Structure 1
Amino acid sequence: MPTIIKEKQNLTYLKWSHIRHSGGTAGTFLKSSSTLGKKKEYYKLSLFDSEKGIIGHECINEIIADRLLTILGIEHLSYTLINADIAIDGRIYSTYLCASEDFKKRGESKIALDDYYRTGANPGESKYDFCVRQGFKEYIDRMIAFDYIILNRDRHGANIEVLRNSRQHTLRIAPLFDHGSSLLCSCLTPETASAFDVMADKPCNNYIGTRSCLENLEIIKGQKNLFPNQLKETDKCFLLDGLDDILPAIFINKIWDMIYERYLFYENL
């Protein structure tokens, strides 16, 4: 399946559920799902405003994060960016949305990490130490480094999932997913994108660590080569391929500067 489908698709049959946006920008995130045959697909929109329509670009961030994880060699949920017509409350909107498949294997059930911690942690055990005890250390360390690079604002306890198969007695942590609230997500105009400080430390909803992605690097300080692969300047073309007619150039260039400069900062800790 291609990363970007630019030919307009008719997805007006999808029914959207409203998820209130927890950040400072007014609006909601809408999600939907569809089952064709035995395959279930999940869809989500960028930030939606009932008067202005789709005003955010979180779905594009999701694709960029997907590609960056591929470059770095980290297991993750893959997304497809789709140009589509959709219907919300009787109105038709033309937008780019994200689609992904279910990452659960047959027979698996999922539980959010925050619930898993509440039911299994030892008295006084930190969330990080609990994850280490469960065998999730490499995953969590990589997640902390990656979330710093993209300035992920929303790594809450339900955005990390544990997958269990009770019959086969298996347990694994889900591939990394949900990175839309990252990069320049707070910038809704070229002017705010131009003024954005790519190295700034913004308040983030981190389940593990503090509300600072920068401070969270202290958890993994001194650990080298967390990523199987390195990010190189030549990766810019792959990372941003096909987005030049979807996102303004100021956003594209600023996003690359942000990713590469923050990656270099992490690498030189």
Structure 2
Amino acid sequence: MATIIKEKQNLTYLQWSHVRSSSGTAGTFLKATSTLDGEKKYYKLSNFDSVKGVIGYECVNEIIVDRLLDIFGVEHLPYELINADIEIEDSIFNTYLCASTDFKKAGESKIALDDYYRTNCEPGESHYDFCVRQGWKNYIDTMIAIDFIILNRDRHGANIEILRNSRAHTLRIAPLFDHGVSLLNSCYTQDDLESFDILADKSCNNFIGSFSCLDNLSLMDPKHKPLRHKLHASDKDIIFGDLHDIISETRIDKTWNMIFERYKIYENL
């Protein structure tokens, strides 16, 4: 299960680089790296505003989805949620940030799926059919199901990666990663939470299929649903048990209702 470090850490030494949001949200996503005892670690912040500081919930979403994927038995990049002081442009901010390690094995290089598709597809071949031809049907169907359940708005072609080892002649698709722009990440106020339609079919930046996560479910064979395990009401405590002092009860309840109601739609296909 994804771990949460609630004791405040001093990470003011990290150097943050700006990565503009590809999802149309206001503000900036910031990333940093560090190497300790030979291990490289990757850090990222929730949506950052230069005046208000960290305003988003993307890092908490990563933990929620991490735990959801554990329940479903889906391979994914694991994240930590860390309470830390950070420094950006000579100002100190306290926030919860995400940390992860590299999913590449020794000797592997990575390439975004959209770039790999462009150099290896057949004429007129759809993104989905290309992945099926590569032997990744179950992976892609699983991704489509998860992205519908969490309403992932940012599954563009670089958020799916191919890992190659030229010397060993191996090729594999990377574990699922980057689920921050999902769930209720666009809700910053109580009014936003109350008005958000958890079943709405919002336009999403999907490389596979269409911009509709709901329509993309039709790409799967309903007789062979990809999620191996069921989601139960009791799983709410597994996912949110130690988040009560980090996000509001309103956000917890609405996020869970969103996950569970959308899961039931998937199950009833």
> Normalised by the size of structure 2, how large is the TM-score?
0.98
Give the whole-Å Cα distance in 2 for the aligned partners of 1:147 and 1:2.
19
Q: Is residue 2:72 matched to residue 1:75? A: no
The letter of the residue matching 1:214 is L
Q: Is residue 2:187 matched to residue 1:198? A: no
The letter of the residue matching 2:217 is L
SS in 2 for 1:250: helix
Give the whole-Å Cα distance in 2 for the aligned partners of 1:94 and 1:126.
45
User: Would the aligned equivalents of 1:149 and 1:262 in 2 still touch at CA under 8 Å?
Assistant: yes
**Alignment-derived partner of residue 106 in structure 1:** 106
1:194 deviation in Å? 1.6
Give the whole-Å Cα distance in 2 for the aligned partners of 1:40 and 1:194.
40
- 1:61-140 residue pairs with structure 2 within 5 A? 61-140=61-140
The size of the alignment, in residue pairs, is: 269
Give a deviation string over 1:47-102, Cα, whole Å, max 9, x none. Answer: 00000000001000000000000000000000000000000000000000000000
**Alignment-derived partner of residue 227 in structure 1:** 227
1:225 deviation in Å? 3.4
User: Would the aligned equivalents of 2:2 and 2:67 in 1 still touch at CA under 8 Å?
Assistant: no
1:122 deviation in Å? 0.6
1:160 deviation in Å? 0.2
- 1:211-226 residue pairs with structure 2 within 5 A? 211-226=211-226
SS in 1 for 2:158: helix
The letter of the residue matching 1:253 is D
Give the whole-Å Cα distance in 1 for the aligned partners of 2:55 and 2:246.
13
Structure 1 residue runs of 4 or more that deviate by more than 6 Å after TM superposition: none
Give a deviation string over 1:158-216, Cα, whole Å, max 9, x none. Answer: 00000011111111100000000000011011221122111011110000011110111
Give the whole-Å Cα distance in 1 for the aligned partners of 2:143 and 2:15.
32
Q: Is residue 2:178 matched to residue 1:178? A: yes
1:230 deviation in Å? 1.0
User: Would the aligned equivalents of 1:54 and 1:95 in 2 still touch at CA under 8 Å?
Assistant: yes
SS in 2 for 1:159: coil
Give the whole-Å Cα distance in 2 for the aligned partners of 1:57 and 1:100.
17
The letter of the residue matching 2:181 is S
Q: Is residue 2:180 matched to residue 1:166? A: no
Q: Is residue 2:218 matched to residue 1:189? A: no
SS in 2 for 1:111: strand
**Alignment-derived partner of residue 257 in structure 1:** 257
SS in 2 for 1:67: helix
User: Would the aligned equivalents of 1:190 and 1:248 in 2 still touch at CA under 8 Å?
Assistant: no
The letter of the residue matching 2:182 is S
**Alignment-derived partner of residue 145 in structure 1:** 145
**Alignment-derived partner of residue 7 in structure 1:** 7
**Alignment-derived partner of residue 54 in structure 1:** 54
Gaps of 5+ in 1: none
Percent identity, aligned pairs only, is: 66
Give a deviation string over 1:12-42, Cα, whole Å, max 9, x none. Answer: 0000000112334320000011111221110
User: Would the aligned equivalents of 1:9 and 1:82 in 2 still touch at CA under 8 Å?
Assistant: yes
SS in 2 for 1:230: coil
